[in-house]
Structure 1
Amino acid sequence: MLENPQRYTVTAALIYANGPIHIGHLAGCYLPADIYVRYLQGTGRDVAFISGTDEHGVPITIKAKKEGITPQQVVDKYYTQIKDSFEQFGISFDIYSRTSNKVHHETSQQFFTTLYDKGYFDEEVTEQYFDEVANQFLADRYIVGTCPVCANPNAYGDQCERCGTALSPNELIQPHSTLSGSQPVKRQTKNWNLPLDKLQPQIEAYVNSHTEWKTNVFGQCQSWLKEGLRPRAMTRDLDWGISVPLPDAEGKVLYVWFDAPIGYISMTKEWAEQQGRDWELYWKDDKTKLVHFIGKDNIVFHCIIFPAMLMAEGSLILADNVPANEFMNLEGDKISTSRNWAVWLHEYLEELPGKEDVLRYVLTANAPETKDSEFTWKDFQTRNNSELVGIFGNFVNRAVVLTEKFNDGLVPGTCTPDDETQLALDQALKDELAQYPDRIGQAIEQYRFREALTLLMDVARLGNKYFAETEPWKVVKTNPQRAHTILNHALQVAANLAILCEPFLPFTAQKLHDQLGLTTKLDWTNAGRTDLLVEGHQLAPATLLFAKLDDDFIQIQIDKLNKTKEMNNAENMGAPAAAAETTNGTPEALEEAALKTVAPIKDTITYDDFAKLDIRIGTITEAERVPKSDKLLKLRVDDGLGGRQILSGIAKHFTPEELIGKQVTFLANLAPRKMMGHESQGMILMAEDADGALAMLPPSKPVWNGGGVS
Structure 2
Amino acid sequence: MSQFKRHTITAALPYANGPLHIGHIAGAYLPADTYVRYLRLRGEDVVFICGSDEHGVAITLGAKKEGVSPRVFVDKYHHLMKKAFEDFGIGFDIYSRTSNPVHYETAQEFFKKIYDQNLFIEETSDQYYDEQEGIFLADRYIIGTCPNCGNPNAYGDQCEKCGTSLSPRQLINPRSTVSGNTPVLKPTRHWYFPLDKFENWLREWLVEGHQDWKTNVYGQCKSWLDQGLQPRSITRDLEWGIPVPLPDAKGKVLYVWFDAPIGYISATKELKPNDWEKYWKDPETRLIHFIGKDNIVFHCIIFPSMLKAAGDFILPDNVPANEFLNLEGEKLSTSRNHAVWLHEYLLDFPGRRDELRYVLTSISPETKDADFTWKDYQQKVDSEMVSILGNFVNRVMVLTGKYFDGKVPAEQELPGTDDRRKKIVAHYHQAHNDLNQAVKEMAACLKDFRFREAQFQMMNLARIGNKFLADTEPWKLAKEDMEAVAAILNYALTIVGNIGLACEPFLPDGAASIRRQLNSDLFDTARKQFWQKEELVHVVRQGAALGTPELMYKKVEDADIEKQMERLRKTPAVAPEGAGAAAVTATKPLKPEIAFDDFAKLDIRIGEVVAAEKMEKSDKLLKLTVDDGLGRRTILSGIAKHYSAEEMVGRQVTFIANLAPRKMMGTESQGMILMAEDNDGKLRLIRPTEDVAPGSTVS
Whole-Å Cα distance in 2 between the matches of residues 658 and 481 of structure 1? 53
- The structure-2 alpha-carbon separation of the partners of 1:687 and 1:412, relative to structure 1 and needing over 3 Å to count, comes to closer
- The structure-2 alpha-carbon separation of the partners of 1:625 and 1:9, relative to structure 1 and needing over 3 Å to count, comes to farther
Residue 240 (structure 1) aligned with residue 234 (structure 2): no
Residue 428 of structure 1 and its aligned partner are, at CA, apart by: 3.4
Q: Any stretches of 5+ residues in structure 1 without a counterpart?
A: 573-588, 602-618, 638-642, 664-683, 699-710
Residue 685 of structure 1 and its aligned partner are, at CA, apart by: 12
- The structure-2 alpha-carbon separation of the partners of 1:594 and 1:119, relative to structure 1 and needing over 3 Å to count, comes to closer
Counterpart of 1:526?
A: 529
Show CA shifts across 1:581-613 (max 9, x none): xxxxxxxx9xx9995244799xxxxxxxxxxxx
- The structure-2 alpha-carbon separation of the partners of 1:125 and 1:660, relative to structure 1 and needing over 3 Å to count, comes to farther
The alignment yields a C-alpha RMSD, in angstroms, of: 3.2
2:101 aligned partner, one-letter code:
K
Corresponding residue SS for 1:59: helix
Whole-Å Cα distance in 1 between the matches of residues 132 and 485 of structure 2? 85
Residue 423 of structure 1 and its aligned partner are, at CA, apart by: 2.7
Residue 122 of structure 1 and its aligned partner are, at CA, apart by: 1.5
2:42 aligned partner, one-letter code:
T
Residue 687 of structure 1 and its aligned partner are, at CA, apart by: 5.7
- Which residues in structure 2 correspond to 1:253-652 (within 5 Å)? 253-273=253-273, 278-419=275-416, 420-518=422-520, 521-522=523-524, 524-527=527-530, 528-564=535-571, 567-568=572-573, 595-598=581-584, 634-635=621-622, 649-651=641-643
Whole-Å Cα distance in 2 between the matches of residues 359 and 491 of structure 1? 27
2:282 aligned partner, one-letter code:
D
Whole-Å Cα distance in 1 between the matches of residues 246 and 580 of structure 2? 45
Corresponding residue SS for 2:317: coil
1:568 aligned partner, one-letter code:
A
Whole-Å Cα distance in 1 between the matches of residues 621 and 18 of structure 2? 34
1:462 aligned partner, one-letter code:
I
Identity %: 51
Counterpart of 2:19?
A: 20
Whole-Å Cα distance in 2 between the matches of residues 531 and 294 of structure 1? 37
Corresponding residue SS for 1:504: coil
Residue 540 of structure 1 and its aligned partner are, at CA, apart by: 1.6
Contact 1:623 1:635 in 2 (8 A): no
Corresponding residue SS for 1:96: strand
- Which residues in structure 2 correspond to 1:133-172 (within 5 Å)? 133-172=132-171
Counterpart of 1:93?
A: 92
Structure 1 length-normalised TM: 0.82
Structure 2 length-normalised TM: 0.83
Show CA shifts across 1:507-539 (max 9, x none): 111111111114675364232344211012111
- The structure-2 alpha-carbon separation of the partners of 1:594 and 1:260, relative to structure 1 and needing over 3 Å to count, comes to closer
Show CA shifts across 1:448-482 (max 9, x none): 11110111011111111110111111111101121
- The structure-2 alpha-carbon separation of the partners of 1:83 and 1:393, relative to structure 1 and needing over 3 Å to count, comes to same
Counterpart of 1:252?
A: 252
Corresponding residue SS for 1:51: strand
- The structure-2 alpha-carbon separation of the partners of 1:687 and 1:211, relative to structure 1 and needing over 3 Å to count, comes to closer
Show CA shifts across 1:24-45 (max 9, x none): 1111111110100000001100
Deviates more, 1:260-269 or 1:238-247: 238-247
Counterpart of 1:577?
A: none
Whole-Å Cα distance in 2 between the matches of residues 454 and 364 of structure 1? 9
Counterpart of 1:224?
A: 224
Corresponding residue SS for 2:395: helix
Counterpart of 1:615?
A: none
Residue 79 (structure 1) aligned with residue 81 (structure 2): no
Deviates more, 1:193-202 or 1:98-107: 193-202
Counterpart of 2:182?
A: 183
Contact 1:204 1:225 in 2 (8 A): yes
Contact 1:17 1:54 in 2 (8 A): yes
Contact 1:51 1:267 in 2 (8 A): yes
- Which residues in structure 2 correspond to 1:664-675 (within 5 Å)? none
- The structure-2 alpha-carbon separation of the partners of 1:239 and 1:162, relative to structure 1 and needing over 3 Å to count, comes to farther
Whole-Å Cα distance in 2 between the matches of residues 558 and 182 of structure 1? 39
1:42 aligned partner, one-letter code:
L
Corresponding residue SS for 1:127: strand
- The structure-2 alpha-carbon separation of the partners of 1:460 and 1:199, relative to structure 1 and needing over 3 Å to count, comes to same
- The structure-2 alpha-carbon separation of the partners of 1:594 and 1:169, relative to structure 1 and needing over 3 Å to count, comes to closer
Corresponding residue SS for 1:123: strand
Residue 310 of structure 1 and its aligned partner are, at CA, apart by: 0.6
Show CA shifts across 1:599-643 (max 9, x none): 799xxxxxxxxxxxxxxxxx9x9997989xxxx965579xxxxx9
Corresponding residue SS for 1:409: coil
Counterpart of 2:592?
A: none
Q: Any stretches of 5+ residues in structure 2 without a counterpart?
A: 417-421, 588-603, 625-634, 658-673, 687-699
- The structure-2 alpha-carbon separation of the partners of 1:598 and 1:379, relative to structure 1 and needing over 3 Å to count, comes to closer
Deviates more, 1:280-289 or 1:120-129: 120-129
- The structure-2 alpha-carbon separation of the partners of 1:451 and 1:622, relative to structure 1 and needing over 3 Å to count, comes to closer
Question: How many residues of Structure 1 are paired with residues of Structure 2 in the alignment?
Answer: 624
Residue 65 of structure 1 and its aligned partner are, at CA, apart by: 2.5
Contact 1:624 1:634 in 2 (8 A): no
Contact 1:52 1:99 in 2 (8 A): yes
Show CA shifts across 1:537-569 (max 9, x none): 1112211001112333322222222232xx327
Contact 2:153 2:579 in 1 (8 A): no
Residue 198 of structure 1 and its aligned partner are, at CA, apart by: 1.4
Contact 1:9 1:289 in 2 (8 A): yes
Whole-Å Cα distance in 1 between the matches of residues 522 and 125 of structure 2? 64
Contact 2:414 2:483 in 1 (8 A): no
Deviates more, 1:304-313 or 1:196-205: 196-205
Residue 178 of structure 1 and its aligned partner are, at CA, apart by: 3.7
1:10 aligned partner, one-letter code:
I
- The structure-2 alpha-carbon separation of the partners of 1:25 and 1:599, relative to structure 1 and needing over 3 Å to count, comes to closer
Whole-Å Cα distance in 2 between the matches of residues 305 and 79 of structure 1? 25
- The structure-2 alpha-carbon separation of the partners of 1:438 and 1:646, relative to structure 1 and needing over 3 Å to count, comes to closer
- The structure-2 alpha-carbon separation of the partners of 1:623 and 1:163, relative to structure 1 and needing over 3 Å to count, comes to farther
- The structure-2 alpha-carbon separation of the partners of 1:81 and 1:521, relative to structure 1 and needing over 3 Å to count, comes to farther
Corresponding residue SS for 1:329: strand
Residue 131 of structure 1 and its aligned partner are, at CA, apart by: 2.8
1:57 aligned partner, one-letter code:
G
Residue 646 of structure 1 and its aligned partner are, at CA, apart by: 6.1
2:216 aligned partner, one-letter code:
N
Whole-Å Cα distance in 1 between the matches of residues 405 and 253 of structure 2? 69
Whole-Å Cα distance in 2 between the matches of residues 11 and 514 of structure 1? 32
Contact 1:50 1:94 in 2 (8 A): yes
Whole-Å Cα distance in 2 between the matches of residues 645 and 237 of structure 1? 43
Residue 36 (structure 1) aligned with residue 38 (structure 2): no
Show CA shifts across 1:191-221 (max 9, x none): 1111122111211111021111001111111
Whole-Å Cα distance in 1 between the matches of residues 585 and 375 of structure 2? 36
Residue 167 of structure 1 and its aligned partner are, at CA, apart by: 2.5
Show CA shifts across 1:65-96 (max 9, x none): 22222222221111111111111111111111
Show CA shifts across 1:277-304 (max 9, x none): 5111100110100000011111111111
Whole-Å Cα distance in 2 between the matches of residues 166 and 634 of structure 1? 17
Contact 2:219 2:647 in 1 (8 A): no
